[in-house]
């Protein structure tokens, strides 16, 4: 069992989530304690899905009759291999396959998944009573975003469905969302979510680094660092805190130590807003902007993001690639997005701004 990092628990149905085999006409009843487990995982911000060899309609009808259907995202109910179902869930949710756990009573099914997808965690249904005690399913903090995570994913699925029915261009669709992005300097109440973002975000993390609550608290208390967070809302609801940028002042240089965007929102074009704001602030403050990038097996898209926004390489030390921006051509904010900014963009990167905001 992994020590941390399970984002989605995938349930088998027959003799796992419920007692009995549906297609054999058994009298189906929910496994004792399972509903409480489902509710607790949901409250911790851990997503849940289904991978079951069953006919879809009767299985879904039974889940609905049990009052549990709303808790499962992208259920895979059919007759394909469980490994195919697991990959489909990971792809559909936009999370790493190594962040999934399968609960199944059949040793054959668990072994098939382990063979095809060795980074997936597999759990024997006989161990369900101990499930909530597993360290991989115990996030250090449960934030507001954690409690609403399933709802945010469901809203995103609705958003994608509406987009698929939209007849205009993608830019035209994005303008119908009435997006509002709020950028602000982080304070202590933001740090639990900030830690969670560094731990959960791998693909859209420019360095792959993680920061603990305590480390972040020390940094924002320093006059030499600034942590910026971004929150996003649209007509489908709030996406919560979806981005952060950690800046370090080095004389006349603002060094972007870490830039993270949630995978759920990157496709909505809001990442450029945070970068453009930082560049505009630097230009107003008369400081240079550099950024660190550490390549991992997942985050090349963030290197492309830096290059797309005008950064160029100026050096490399060990695995750290150093980039810089000329501040001559800064991309404008995308149309159709309301942007709420800190009162004084120039103060963000000035020494006076650091001192006055470092309480």
Tokens 């597993």 belong to which residue?
134
45 sits in which H/E element: none
Alpha helices in 212-325 (DSSP H): 213-220, 271-285, 300-308
Helix (H, G, I), strand (E, B) or coil at 340: strand
Q: What is the pLDDT of residue 349?
A: 59
Q: What is the pLDDT of residue 345?
A: 54
CA separation for the pair 288, 281 (Å, rounded): 10
Q: What is the pLDDT of residue 114?
A: 97
pLDDT along the chain (359 residues), means of 10: 73 97 93 97 97 97 96 98 98 92 98 98 96 93 89 92 93 93 93 91 91 95 93 92 92 93 83 92 91 94 94 95 96 91 62 34
pTM: 0.80
Separate counts of helices (H) and strands (E) for the chain? 12, 15
155 sits in which H/E element: helix 149-164
Q: Are 349 and 249 in contact (CB under 8 A)?
A: yes
Helix (H, G, I), strand (E, B) or coil at 330: coil
Q: How many CB atoms lie within 10 A of CB 314?
A: 11
Q: Where do the domains of the chain lie, and which CATH numbers do they carry?
A: 8-137 (3.40.50.1000), 144-356 (3.40.630.30)
CA separation for the pair 89, 12 (Å, rounded): 13
Q: What is the pLDDT of residue 321?
A: 97
Q: What is the DSSP letter of 3?
A: S
CA separation for the pair 287, 279 (Å, rounded): 9
Q: What is the pLDDT of residue 94?
A: 87
Tokens 């009162």 belong to which residue?
343
Q: What is the pLDDT of residue 285?
A: 87
């Amino acid at each position: 069992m992994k020590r941390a990092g399970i984002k989605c628990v995938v349930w088998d149905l027959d003799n796992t989530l419920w007692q009995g085999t549906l297609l054999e006409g058994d009298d189906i009843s929910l496994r004792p304690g399972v509903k409480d487990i489902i509710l607790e995982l949901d409250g911790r911000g851990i997503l849940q899905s289904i991978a079951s060899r069953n006919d879809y309609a009767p299985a879904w009808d039974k889940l609905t009759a049990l009052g549990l259907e709303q808790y499962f995202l992208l259920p895979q109910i059919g007759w394909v291999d469980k490994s195919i179902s697991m990959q489909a869930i990971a792809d559909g949710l936009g999370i790493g396959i190594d962040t999934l756990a399968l609960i199944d009573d059949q040793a054959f099914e668990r072994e098939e998944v382990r063979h095809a997808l060795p980074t997936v965690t597999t759990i024997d249904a006989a161990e369900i009573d101990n499930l909530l005690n597993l360290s991989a399913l115990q996030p250090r903090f449960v934030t507001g975003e954690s409690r609403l995570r399933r709802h945010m994913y469901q809203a995103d699925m609705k958003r994608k469905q509406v987009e698929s029915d939209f007849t205009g261009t993608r830019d035209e669709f994005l303008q119908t969302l009435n997006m509002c992005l709020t950028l602000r300097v982080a304070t202590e109440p933001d740090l639990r979510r900030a830690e969670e973002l560094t731990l959960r975000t791998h693909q859209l993390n420019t360095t792959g680094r993680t920061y603990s609550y305590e480390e972040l608290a020390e940094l924002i208390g320093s006059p030499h660092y600034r942590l910026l967070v971004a929150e996003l809302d649209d007509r489908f609801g709030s996406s919560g805190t979806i981005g952060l940028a950690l800046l370090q002042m080095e004389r006349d240089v603002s060094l972007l130590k870490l830039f993270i965007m949630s995978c759920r929102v990157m496709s909505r074009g809001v990442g450029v807003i945070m970068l453009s704001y930082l560049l505009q602030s630097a230009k107003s403050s008369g400081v240079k902007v550099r950024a660190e990038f550490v390549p991992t097996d997942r985050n090349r898209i963030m290197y492309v993001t830096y290059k797309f926004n005008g950064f160029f390489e100026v050096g490399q030390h060990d695995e750290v690639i150093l980039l810089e921006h000329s501040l001559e051509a800064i991309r404008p904010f995308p149309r159709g997005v309301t942007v709420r900014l800190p009162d004084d963009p120039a103060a963000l990167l000035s020494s006076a701004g650091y001192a006055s905001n470092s309480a």
